[in-house]
Chain A
């Protein structure tokens, strides 16, 4: 019973410890990081033993779906802490809070996937969101970081308001906050349902940066410290999609409301805008922000398909996207931290400066562009097939066209890395922790690429469990 909240409890405890170290020494930048890593590893080990548990603790539900998602969130947190370590050693203020915020945000995300009830869901969601606003603005003396934090907070607060309004409307219409109960009661007789759905789509749309609620994304991704960008792109976005799945697929699955077409429409807008605007970006961080928008569009294809296959494909996309983006932003964290810069030209000749990271970045780009047999290819492939399986031919076709368009800008990054030969390129030391994190992502992308079967099975199981 109560053992199912232990992973969250462990992470919360270590978050506290990470802040606590700063009381004794602000100079020791590594101690809080090691504590965070230890906490995450403990939680991972404990979580692993809970694999087949299905149980409930008040409104906190633990099942296979929650287990899979928590594994993803913990892994992302682990990678982000590793990426941040080198980056933050040069920061001239205490860093304990940084790691604590990452851990707290992770706890929020982990609770989100265990919530099958609106209030729990909302509280957990806000826990994660508020921590990430602070993370985006963590570099207090950096104007860009401040701007990012402010924008993120402003838009985030607005979207929270929308979500809360939507949720309260649903509560008013049904008299319950349990998602499964809602799905039985809610029907389209009342026009207020559309208002509530609209608010929820807009509110969660902000979180996963779906068009037209995406405007904050490029500025926040570019301005935030790069390791935080990795966290936002890999973790926060995954949480947004998870909420989308829980509220819409569990709560409104059997409700007689046709929201599929709305999602399909938003998906088309999102991926097309993301990919086309990305073509013009010179700053790679900003380019990847638009690529993140495009990928949110792809992920929504699976939700529009609304079959077990489609929803599982969305989850699979969450996983591969998290690995690719954590890795890619990890490499950018390296270039920013070593003063190489973050525009496409700055990456020129990276193969000479940092061969391992250059190879990894290249493979992430190929994977994001959807070249087989890499992780990103399978998730796109699976999403498009699921759309076809649900009869959404046009959606799949537009997805494929988008995928071809995206090759153009990813190829620019690859070209810069390998083709350009700067006259005075010297080898730069590749920091151990960061390289380790990037290599872990790389291995993940390759393993999923060459042998996706176990991942596909696991996610199909998870989805079959939560779909009514």
Chain B
């Protein structure tokens, strides 16, 4: 029941603020229920059995038996960390709050609704339910961008909804085919993940399905060349919207990729390993170099997401235990670092009135606390040891060296580029002489500080001592690679 409880708390955190129709009450209700859902997800972590490699905390109930659809939830070492991350970011984004006081109670409800959909995606074992949650995420995020976004919000929200909707339609078509193949082979209607894993599919059809599913998820990750919705959506979204977008919405793509096509068609995945790895490396490079050219801090961070999420695809393509562990760990690590960076950019915009790097300069003189967080977050972003991104990216590299040998070495220059754009931006914006044209109104306020503090502590803690998370993910990836017959 604990998984449903997490969803229930997020649902209450959505509906009650809306019903309260009061900005202050809405904020407290949203924070309260996000906190409860985080507590519930930590309880799930506490009762999680590390020695059991399969799905746990399972809940199953019939939903629409006539169409073979059930309400089936469960978690394993891959999904539970992401569920915890979702609840954590629900709390952090609610604490961080809005960019401007306007329709606040609606805003907080939308934040929790986004998290509800995302948590559902990570838990659902019935692929139809998975799809339903997947679509549920789309709606609140659309409103977050379209109502609370920046000047080009109409364009950005529209692009977001079209790109992701096309991706999900292709995904549901692939589920459809699986459904019918199962009906033919076993005579039963089902959408259950565990049932589909039993299917025997002809290699030709399997490749088509694999490509369709991978395409659907790659749009969401996103990888080059399907990434163009991301900078637009990120730059226009309100800060808390960007936090969720970078923190968990991108993870839906990575999770889906690992969970669905890789599990169903591992042989095909091995055939496509080199093309996927090349796409991943292109994404890593493209993201890093495009970020270097950005003037807006927010679009710099957005493009760095493309680069960082490339590691997830690289790990998935390598299909070795270490690479998979690294990919899953990278999702969590990027899920804390990137939201932190977006909060920094958001606060900068509140206080200085601009995010354009050339217009900034010497911000550290007027916002010392902000500057400390910014430097720490940037260092975490470039993968310095003792931060969680280091653990993640290092593990992915080790794992993919095993699989790809020389090809994986191409990634190293990108790591240097990453350091380059983050430090270069720091030098121009944060340090140096103070730009006297700037008018800065104070430093971080309490709510911003609290939200950032939670994320930063977690990033450093997992960098120093990654075992609590690593053990859980490791159990999954070792078991998974064993299941699909080794490297």
Contacts and interface: CB of A to CB of B under 8 A. Distances in A.
A428 to B, nearest CB: 17
- Which secondary structure dominates where chain B touches chain A? helix
In the A-B complex, the 6 residue pairs with the closest CB atoms: A372-B132, A456-B66, A419-B146, A453-B64, A373-B132, A372-B135
B135 A371 contact: yes
Given A372-B132, A419-B146, A452 B64 contact: yes
A418 B169 contact: no
A394 B61 CA distance: 34
Contacts of A372: 131-132, 135-136
Contacts of A408: 162
Given A419-B143, A451-B64, A456-B67, 15 more contacts: A371-B135, A371-B139, A372-B135, A381-B67, A385-B176, A388-B176, A400-B169, A404-B166, A408-B162, A411-B142, A411-B158, A415-B154, A419-B153, A419-B154, A456-B64
A407 interface: yes
B180 interface: yes
User: Which of A371, A372, A403 is most buried by chain B, counting CB atoms within 10 A of its CB?
Assistant: A372
A366 interface: yes
A460 B161 contact: no
A419 B147 contact: yes
A453 B66 CA distance: 7
B448 to A, nearest CB: 26
A364 interface: no
B349 interface: no
Contacts of A419: 143, 146-147, 153-154
How many chain B residues sit at the interface, stated as a range, is 20 to 34
Given A373-B132, A418-B147, A382 B180 contact: no
6 contacts: A384-B176, A389-B180, A400-B169, A400-B173, A418-B143, A453-B65
Contact of B161 (A384, A388, A397, A407): A407
A142 interface: no
A457 interface: yes
Interface string A443-468: 00000000111001100100000000
Interface string A301-340: 0000000000000000000000000000000000000000
Interface in B134-168: 135-136, 138-139, 142-143, 146-147, 153-154, 157-158, 161-162, 165-166
User: Which of A371, A381, A419, A460 is most buried by chain B, counting CB atoms within 10 A of its CB?
Assistant: A419
Nearest to B138: A371
Contacts of A366: 139
How many chain A residues sit at the interface, stated as a range, is 20 to 34
Interface in A374-428: 381-382, 384-385, 388-389, 397, 400, 403-404, 407-408, 411, 415, 418-419
A355 to B, nearest CB: 8
A447 B471 CA distance: 43
B23 to A, nearest CB: 15
Nearest to A401: B169
Nearest to A312: B66
Nearest to B176: A388
Nearest to A411: B161
A456 B68 CA distance: 12
B174 to A, nearest CB: 12
Interface of B: 63-67, 131-132, 135-136, 138-139, 142-143, 146-147, 153-154, 157-158, 161-162, 165-166, 169, 173, 176, 180
Contacts of A407: 161-162, 165
B68 to A, nearest CB: 10
Nearest to B64: A453
B11 to A, nearest CB: 12
A372 B127 CA distance: 13
Contacts of A384: 176
Nearest to A403: B169
A384 to B, nearest CB: 8
A457 B146 CA distance: 40
B135 A388 contact: no
Interface string A185-210: 00000000000000000000000000
Contacts of B138: 371
Contacts of A371: 135, 138-139
A141 B136 CA distance: 46
Given A372-B132, A373-B132, A419-B146, A460 B169 contact: no
A407 B165 CA distance: 9
A90 B4 CA distance: 50
Nearest to A397: B173
Nearest to A382: B67
A415 B131 contact: no
Nearest to B128: A372
Contacts of A453: 63-66
Contacts of A373: 132
A389 B388 CA distance: 49
Contacts of A460: 66
Contacts of A385: 67, 176
B180 A388 contact: yes
Contacts of A452: 64
Contacts of A388: 176, 180
A263 to B, nearest CB: 22
B132 A404 contact: no
Contact of A404 (B131, B154, B165): B165
A366 B135 CA distance: 11
Contacts of B135: 371-372
B270 to A, nearest CB: 29
Contacts of B146: 415, 418-419
A232 to B, nearest CB: 30
A266 B304 CA distance: 49
A235 B160 CA distance: 37
B173 to A, nearest CB: 7
A385 B66 CA distance: 12
Contacts of A456: 64, 66-67
A79 B169 CA distance: 34
A457 B66 contact: yes
Nearest to A408: B162
Contacts of A457: 66
A1 B233 CA distance: 65
Contacts of B63: 451, 453
Contacts of B66: 453, 456-457, 460
Contacts of B64: 451-453, 456
Contacts of A411: 142, 158, 161
Given A366-B139, A372-B132, A415-B154, A404 B147 contact: no
A373 B138 CA distance: 13
B218 to A, nearest CB: 18
Interface in A265-292: none
A22 B209 CA distance: 66
Contacts of B65: 453
Nearest to B179: A385
Contacts of B176: 384-385, 388
User: Which of A389, A397, A452 is most buried by chain B, counting CB atoms within 10 A of its CB?
Assistant: A452
A397 to B, nearest CB: 8
